[in-house]
């Protein structure tokens, strides 16, 4: 499971401690945007078993490459209409390549030589739920469901779409762009199918 749009060290720590598998830093136009240098600072506290992901949307491969190297993350997520060639051009970076798009994208993970596929709402990072069940049985390989997930609905979404993993941003925020450690813990617990315990 991936927790995306982190900007503060305490939220990175909360996600790691809760058991997230991946942590996303938004390096594209967004209210959650961080600089590559800030992403590097935040990623420095992340243990190696948790994947650090830089999120882009529409930038040219040269720009993605420069920002990825500056941030030191271990994965690149390309949102939207990136052609196959963009993934090919970034392969030599040696990072995990993630393709992300709405339900209409090619649902085969690996079709663009990516390592991981995210199927998201039409407006990424909007927190808007969509018809998760519509993709059930269509995607193949390692794919994550995203878009409007929250502690209160992630179990329902997993049951509806049967994804390999899940990805969240808005649903673990107390206000737009402001992450909440308690909601991060609740989300991870709900996605893992366990009840969230009381705060320590
Ligand atoms: O989160 C953003 O602000 C963002 C902006 C532009 C492109 C992608 C963005 N986020 C990508 C993600 O991986 C989000 O976690 C995903 O879209 C789910 O977001 P949400 O519906 O808010 O949980």
> What average pLDDT does the segment 169-176 reach?
97
The CATH code that applies to domain 2-191 is: 3.20.20.70
Identify the H or E element spanning 185.
helix 181-191
Active site annotation includes 106: no
Between residues 48 and 198, which one has the greater pLDDT? Answer: 48
Of 86, 120, 167, 186, which one is the catalytic site residue? 120
**What average pLDDT does this structure show over 174-191?**
97
Q: Is 163 in the pocket of ligand 1 (CB under 6 A)?
A: no
Tokens representing 126 are 């909007």
94-105 pLDDT, tens per residue? 999 999 999 999
Average pLDDT on 105-120 reads 97
Kindly report the pTM of this predicted structure. Answer: 0.95
Residue 194 has a pLDDT of: 61
Task: Report yes or no: 80 and 60 within 8 Å, Cβ to Cβ.
Answer: no
| 167 contacts 1 by C-beta, under 8 angstroms | yes
Residue 24 near ligand 1, beta carbon < 6 Å: yes
With beta carbons less than 8 A apart as the criterion, state whether 124 and 79 touch: yes
Average of per-residue pLDDT across 1-12: 98
CA-56 nearest atom, ligand 1: 7
Instruction: Give every CB contact of residue 192 below 8 A, 6+ residues apart in sequence.
Output: 1, 19
The reported pLDDT for the residue numbered 197 is 46
Residue 120 annotated as catalytic: yes
Evaluate if residue 106 carries a pLDDT over 60.
yes
Could you read off the pLDDT of 156-167 as tens digits, one per residue?
999 999 999 999
Distance, CA 92 to ligand 1 centroid (Å)? 25
pLDDT at 193: 85
Distance CA 142, CA 139 (A): 8
Cα distances (angstroms) measured from residue 7 to each of 38, 49, 142, 194: 8, 20, 26, 27
23-58 residue pLDDT tens: 999 999 999 999 999 999 999 999 999 999 999 999
CA proximity to 112, closest of 147, 137, 76, 166: 76
196: pLDDT strictly greater than 80 = no
């Amino acid at each position: 499971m991936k927790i995306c749009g982190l900007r503060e060290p305490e939220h990175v720590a909360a996600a790691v401690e809760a058991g997230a598998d991946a942590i996303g830093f938004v390096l594209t136009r967004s209210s959650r945007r961080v600089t590559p240098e800030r992403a590097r600072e935040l990623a420095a506290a992340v243990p190696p078993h948790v994947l650090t992901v830089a999120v882009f949307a529409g930038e040219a491969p040269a720009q993605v490459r420069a920002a990825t190297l500056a941030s030191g993350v271990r994965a690149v997520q390309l949102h939207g209409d990136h052609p196959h060639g963009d993934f090919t051009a970034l392969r030599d970076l040696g990072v995990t390549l993630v393709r992300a798009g709405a339900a209409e994208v090619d649902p085969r993970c690996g079709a663009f030589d990516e390592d991981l596929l995210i199927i998201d709402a039409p407006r990424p990072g909007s927190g808007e739920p969509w018809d998760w069940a519509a993709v059930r049985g269509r995607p193949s390989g390692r794919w994550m469901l995203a878009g409007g997930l929250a502690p209160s609905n992630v179990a329902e979404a997993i049951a509806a779409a049967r994804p390999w993993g899940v990805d969240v941003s808005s649903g673990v925020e107390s206000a737009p762009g402001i992450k909440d450690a308690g909601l991060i813990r609740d989300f991870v617990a709900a996605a893992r199918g366990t009840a969230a315990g009381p705060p320590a």
